[in-house]
A and B are shown apart, each in its own frame.
Chain A
Amino acid sequence: QVQLQESGPGLVKPSETLSLTCTVSGYSISSGYFWGWIRQPPGKGLEWIGSIYHSGSTYYNPSLKSRVTISVDTSKNQFSLKLSSVTAADTAVYYCAREDVGTASFDYWGRGALVTVSS
């Protein structure tokens, strides 16, 4: 059974960098698939942030590209998100998910991590 779990600080100060890690169990990241981050502001809809392949190839939402870095650590079976220069608008539940290569559908999701941007 594939499982994903987000971890990281739940509170980040404005202008600082948000950092989250997704730990995958039940499947080796090196075996394939893309691995993505999606966020959801409280009471609002879903926004795709970006995705990474096990090789390290990445692609990002153009609206966030200048502030986003996604990386992978296959030895730990983890991938990570960094979002710089955060504001209150970045307050959201952040999900990590597995992305099917062919259909770009997200078939396994973590439970989500609420990150609040506040001083």
Chain B
Amino acid sequence: DIQMTQSPSSLSASVGDRVTITCRASQSISSYLNWYQQKPGKAPKLLIYAASSLQRGVPSRFSGSGSGTDFTLTISSLQPEDFATYYCQQSNSSPGYTFGQGTKLEIK
């Protein structure tokens, strides 16, 4: 199985901050990496697919980069609605998609 490790596990930040979350794969997954945002009691929402493509309707302050084993999700200027938990998901290994453990983004 491909293991996905996110860092940090939690993060405190203020509105307007630039925030970066990283995701590392245990082996190369090319660009088969997706990012999701989840708010309490809600289903995850797709933000970024194929490492760097912005899902339709997602604000442009969200961006993704990386390939191989190391990936990042960046929020350029945090908004109040961005405080949530973020998950990466590798989609290279089929069968066997795996998610990172999540990064909880909290208000400082």
| Number of chain A residues whose Cβ lies closer than 8 Å to a Cβ of chain B | 23
Binds A, one of B14-22, B65-73, B76-84, B97-105: B97-105
Known A-B contacts A95-B43, A109-B44; A47 and B49 likewise in contact (beta carbons under 8 Å): no
Question: For the complex, what is the distance from the CA of A45 to the CA of B98, rounded to whole Å?
Answer: 10
- Of the candidates B42, B50, B95, B101, the one whose C-beta lies within 8 Å of that of A105 is B50
Which single residue of chain A is at the shortest CB-CB distance from B85? Answer: A45
> Is A27's beta carbon under 8 Å from chain B?
no
Q: Is the interface of B mostly helix, strand, loop or mixed?
A: loop
Known A-B contacts A104-B91, A105-B89; A61 and B43 likewise in contact (beta carbons under 8 Å): no
CB pair A45 B87 closer than 8 Å = yes
Which single residue of chain B is at the shortest CB-CB distance from A59? Answer: B95
Residues of B within 8 A of A105 (CB): 34, 46, 49-50, 55, 89, 91
CB pair B100 A45 closer than 8 Å = yes
> Is A106's beta carbon under 8 Å from chain B?
yes
1/0 per position for A80-119, CB-CB distance to B under 8 A? Answer: 0000000000000001010010011111011110000000
CB pair A103 B1 closer than 8 Å = no
> Is B59's beta carbon under 8 Å from chain A?
no
Known A-B contacts A45-B87, A62-B1; A104 and B97 likewise in contact (beta carbons under 8 Å): yes
CB pair B97 A48 closer than 8 Å = yes
CB pair B49 A100 closer than 8 Å = yes
Which single residue of chain B is at the shortest CB-CB distance from A100? Answer: B49
Chain B residues in the interface with A (C-beta under 8 A): 1, 32, 34, 36, 42-46, 49-50, 53, 55, 87, 89, 91, 94-102
Chain A residues in the interface with B (C-beta under 8 A): 45-48, 50, 59-63, 65, 95, 97, 100, 103-107, 109-112
Closest 4 CB pairs of A and B: A104-B91, A109-B43, A105-B49, A59-B95
**Subset of 9 A-B contacts with CB under 8 Å:** A48-B89, A59-B94, A61-B96, A61-B97, A103-B91, A104-B97, A107-B55, A109-B44, A111-B43
